[in-house]
């Protein structure tokens, strides 16, 4: 497989996946987004995504990850009419981080009906950035500073990346490259208790224990952490558990891939409002993403 992919092929994969899930596709909106971000989609890892739950299962998304060129995703989205420039702190956060912290790559999230949604921002793979320093940014949600001590109790001191959602005004902060045992069932159970999340089932705890990272969702409206998500990387869709829900099972079985690499991430999300699962098949996989995710092992050594 080459390190690039054609934009028409990306569109075809999105179209095929929407048909697989019986979801309506706004063709002009998707093609417009792909055209606006073509340099990113053709030179990065490209993934599709879906989640469980009646509402989420209607919101199939697509994303590019770890683009290292000069493209500024926020300014690109604004200049192409995919996003209105706003005065919410979320609109300032990406630029504020860029001005003070080293950035190695970016990513962008899109949804087949809603369009542009989110920016990902990767810190250098060898230099996760101190959470206490990030929390001092004026545009950062206060909830980050309010939860520094809680996160530190679980060895979560430095962030590897973050993602700003401009539709929900939420922030995800990711921690990876963590020691073995970080996601042991008793530790995850203790964490959810501190977060005010109902205790996960034994099966959910088992899934979380296999995660290569954890990420938390913050908002500008609350001092609490909204949810925690535990992603697991597998080298092929056949290794995605078959009891995560019929939509995920159908997606894993029929989603297209650009080449022999057929890696997927499935994730367990724990929230006070209810737990759910996500699936992210990589239509086009670039090996450089391994460094972005700070994986301790080769993706092919990960197992379900």
pTM for this prediction: 0.93
Average pLDDT over residues 14-26: 95
Residue 23 and residue 112 in contact, taking contact as beta carbons nearer than 8 Å: yes
CA-wise closest residue to 280 among 270, 288, 291, 269: 269
Q: How far apart are the first and last CA of the chain?
A: 24
pLDDT digits (tens, 9 = 90+) for 94-152: 999 999 999 999 999 999 988 999 999 999 988 999 999 999 999 999 999 999 999 99
pLDDT digits (tens, 9 = 90+) for 253-271: 999 999 999 999 999 999 9
pLDDT at 68 over 90: no
List C-alpha distances in Å: 226 to 17, 42, 103, 192: 29, 34, 26, 11
Domain positions in the chain = 7-301
Sign of CA dihedral 256, 43, 229, 153: positive
CA atoms of 278 and 248, how far apart (whole Å): 8
Sign of CA dihedral 193, 231, 291, 11: negative
Mean pLDDT of all residues in the chain? 92
**Residue 283, C-beta contacts closer than 8 angstroms, at least 6 positions apart:** 5, 10, 13, 46, 47, 48, 255, 256, 257, 258
Confidence at residue 114, expressed as pLDDT on a 0 to 100 scale? 87
Confidence at residue 3, expressed as pLDDT on a 0 to 100 scale? 77
Question: DSSP string spanning the chain?
Answer: --S---HHHHHHHHHHHHHHTT----HHHHHHHHHHTHHHHTTSEEEEEEESSTTGGG--EEEEEEE-SS--HHHHHHHTTSS----SHHHHHHHHHHHHS---EEEEEEETTTEEEEEEEEPPTT-PEEHHHHTTSTTS-HHHHHTHHHHHTTT--EESEEEEETTTTEEEEEEESPPTTTT-HHHHHHHHHHHTPPPPPHHHHHHHHT-SEEEEEEESS-SS--EEEEEEEESSGGGS-TTS-HHHHHHHHH---SSS---EEEEEEEETT--EEEEEEEEE--TTHHHHTT-SS-GGG---
CA atoms of 282 and 261, how far apart (whole Å): 8
pLDDT digits (tens, 9 = 90+) for 215-238: 999 999 999 999 999 999 999 999
């Amino acid at each position: 497989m080459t390190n690039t992919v054609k934009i028409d092929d990306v569109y075809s994969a999105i179209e095929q996946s929407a048909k697989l899930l019986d979801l309506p596709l706004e063709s002009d909106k998707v093609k417009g987004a792909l055209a606006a971000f073509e340099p990113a989609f053709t030179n990065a890892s490209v993934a599709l995504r879906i989640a469980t739950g009646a509402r989420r299962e209607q919101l199939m998304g697509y994303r590019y990850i770890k683009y290292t060129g000069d493209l500024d995703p926020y300014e690109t989205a604004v200049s192409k009419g995919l996003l209105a420039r706003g005065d919410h702190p979320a609109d300032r956060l990406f630029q504020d981080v860029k001005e003070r912290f080293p950035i190695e790559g970016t990513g962008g999230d899109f949804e087949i009906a809603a369009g542009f949604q989110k920016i990902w921002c990767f810190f250098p793979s060898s230099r996760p950035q101190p959470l206490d320093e990030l929390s001092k940014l004026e545009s950062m949600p206060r909830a980050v500073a309010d939860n520094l001590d809680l996160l530190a109790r679980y060895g979560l001191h430095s962030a590897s990346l973050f993602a700003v959602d401009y539709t929900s005004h939420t922030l995800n902060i990711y921690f990876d490259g963590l020691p073995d045992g970080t996601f042991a069932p008793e530790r995850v159970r203790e964490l959810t208790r501190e977060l005010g999340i109902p205790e996960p089932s034994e099966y959910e705890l088992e899934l979380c224990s296999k995660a290569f990272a954890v990420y938390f969702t913050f908002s500008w409206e609350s001092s609490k952490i909204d949810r925690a998500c535990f992603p697991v990387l597998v080298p092929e869709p056949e290794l995605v558990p078959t009891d995560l829900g019929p939509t995920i099972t159908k997606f894993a079985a029929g989603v297209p891939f650009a080449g022999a690499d057929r890696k997927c991430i499935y994730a367990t999300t724990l929230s006070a409002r209810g737990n759910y699962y996500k699936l992210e098949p990589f239509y086009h996989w670039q090996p450089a993403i391994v460094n972005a995710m700070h994986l301790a092992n080769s993706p092919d050594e990960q197992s379900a």
